[in-house]
Structure 1
Amino acid sequence: MQQNLQIHNYVLFVLILIEETHSKWKSGEIIAVMFMEILELKKNTFYKIMKEYEEEK
């Protein structure tokens, strides 16, 4: 149960980071590499998540 809570909290944290940083990335304030470093994601995972995020918006 504790592990599930930790995973849930991590997912929420990442979603909040995406929500706060996505517009900065799209407007050119930060580059994709910086965004990937903030989220601690590899390139393929980053673009997959961004595609899903933008489709849901």
Structure 2
Amino acid sequence: MSNLTKSHCFHCSYDRGLLGLAYIWVGDTNGVQIQILATWIFYAVLNQLCLDLAIALNQP
């Protein structure tokens, strides 16, 4: 891994920690798949919430 990549990863992790966001470092295929699945579920729930809110507010 190059120094640029290490530095970039450090800053990403630091920024997430600074913002209080959760982050996890995984290198195994299962861990990556879990993160991708969790992201899809999060966006699906967020999209449904936006749709429900738009319907409740009578917005298009």
Query: Could you say which TM-score interval applies, normalised by the shorter chain?
Result: 0.3 to 0.5
Bigger relative CO (Cα 8 Å, ≥ 6 apart): 1
Structure 1 or 2, whichever has the larger Rg, is 2
Query: What's the TM-score, normalizing by structure 2?
Result: 0.39
Of Structure 1 and Structure 2, the greater helix share is in 1
Query: What's the TM-score, normalizing by structure 1?
Result: 0.41
